[in-house]
Amino acid sequence: MALSPARVRIYEVAQAAGVSIATASKALNDTGRMAEETRQRVRQVAAELGFRPNAMARALLSKRSFTIGLLTNDTYGRFTLPLMAGVSEALVDEGVSVFLCTIEDDPQLARVHVDALLDKQVDGIIASGKRIDRRLQVDLTNLSIPVVYAFTEGPDDAVRLVSDDAQGAREAVQWLRGLGRRRIVHVTGPGSFASVQERTGAFREVVGPDGQVLFGNWSEAWGHEAVRRLWQASASQPDAIFCGNDQIARGVCDALRERGVSVPAEVSVVGFDNWEIVAAATRPPLTTVDMNLKQLGREAGRLVLALARGEAVTPGLRKLACQLVVRQSCGGGVT
């Protein structure tokens, strides 16, 4: 997708002509209804700016609505908003807008919203959610427009994107080992979550099958409780704690400090999520795994647009790499 930097986009034509993108598209394709004066103005502006749609774009331009629908049941926005930012970033240069529609878990109401998106003739739908192992409560197969599943479960033969939880966990634990830590414990959320299973599996791949894992919930309070249990046990205490999310890690750091255990001097702590509001405010600020949701959104946007253009996209699950963000909770920040 290397583009000449000087390439003129249709939204620039639309803005220069003072019309919407869809109107500009129709004017240039000689479709739709509008005043002849408008059509001429758009064409003149396009010519002046040197707008040259490529062959495929020209063929498909007239069918498109320049809108992508983003469906999610993540009403808190923790996962969906970074993803949406990525989708927007990927598509805005193409003059495509993203409309987010939140659906609750009521299938009947979910259907109302999907119908509304279809009615608006969006060019495609990105389905997202708050768990990678749950489907939205609405059937998106057999729609007349393409659907990409990002950070939610989807049919096997669909285009699906998730963060690579195992790779992210592996990097975190290898980082701890690289710092010389040998008694690493994993404190995480409920064992029923696929992401918990993935991360736990990767943890034990690195430290060995007997690696200690404490399952609980996703809260700070659980981080406190886990430290209490670990430090009450008679066995030797860990020198590193890899946490399933940043909230747990924050609880762990607070609990250790209150016991007089120094982080990172005596114990290294790693979080997961890189949720700025939690990770940056923790004392010390958390080294944590970022799921790169913005990048996931960018890729989802790119793929749904390719599908909308009729390009071939291989179906199946794509796992995108996570990235370790190093702050102060492990030491080793300067490499």
CB burial of residue 34 (10 Å; 0-12, 13-18, 19+): middle
Spatial CA neighbour of 269 closest among 191, 328, 182, 201: 328
Kindly state whether residue 158 participates in binding a second copy, applying the rule CB under 8 A. Answer: no
Q: How far is CA 302 from the centre of its chain?
A: 13
Per DSSP bridges, beta strands 268-272 and 213-215 are unpaired
Among 43, 111, 183, 204, binds a second copy (CB under 8 A): 111
Q: Based on CB atoms, which residue is closest to a second copy, 173 or 187?
A: 187
Q: Based on CB atoms, which residue is closest to a second copy, 27 or 98?
A: 98
Among 34, 85, 306, 325, binds a second copy (CB under 8 A): 85
Got the DSSP string for 138-155?
A: S--TT-SS-EEEESS---
Smallest distance from the beta carbon of 220 to a second copy, in angstroms? 5
Kindly state whether residue 86 participates in binding a second copy, applying the rule CB under 8 A. Answer: no
Q: Which two tokens stand for residue 227?
A: 């430290």
Residue 145 vs residues 121, 193, 264: alpha-carbon distances, Å: 9, 31, 51
Kindly state whether residue 220 participates in binding a second copy, applying the rule CB under 8 A. Answer: yes
Smallest distance from the beta carbon of 96 to a second copy, in angstroms? 8
Q: What backbone phi and psi angles, to 5 degrees, belong to 226?
A: -65, -40
Q: Based on CB atoms, which residue is closest to a second copy, 219 or 323?
A: 219
Tell me 230's DSSP state.
Answer: H
Piece of 90-98, 139-147, 153-161, 189-197 that binds a second copy (CB under 8 A): 90-98
Smallest distance from the beta carbon of 109 to a second copy, in angstroms? 6
Binding mask 27-66 for a second copy (x = CB under 8 A): --------------------------------------xx
Among 56, 143, 281, 321, binds a second copy (CB under 8 A): 281
Euclidean distance between CA atoms 241 and 260, whole angstroms: 16
Radius of gyration of the chain (CA): 24
Among 35, 36, 54, 76, binds a second copy (CB under 8 A): 76
Kindly state whether residue 92 participates in binding a second copy, applying the rule CB under 8 A. Answer: yes
285: which residues sit within 8 A by CB, 6+ positions away? 279, 327, 328, 329
Q: Which residues of the shown chain bind a second copy in the complex (CB under 8 A)?
A: 11, 14-15, 20-23, 65-67, 69, 75-77, 81, 84-85, 88, 92, 95, 97-102, 108-109, 111-113, 115-120, 219-221, 247, 277-278, 281
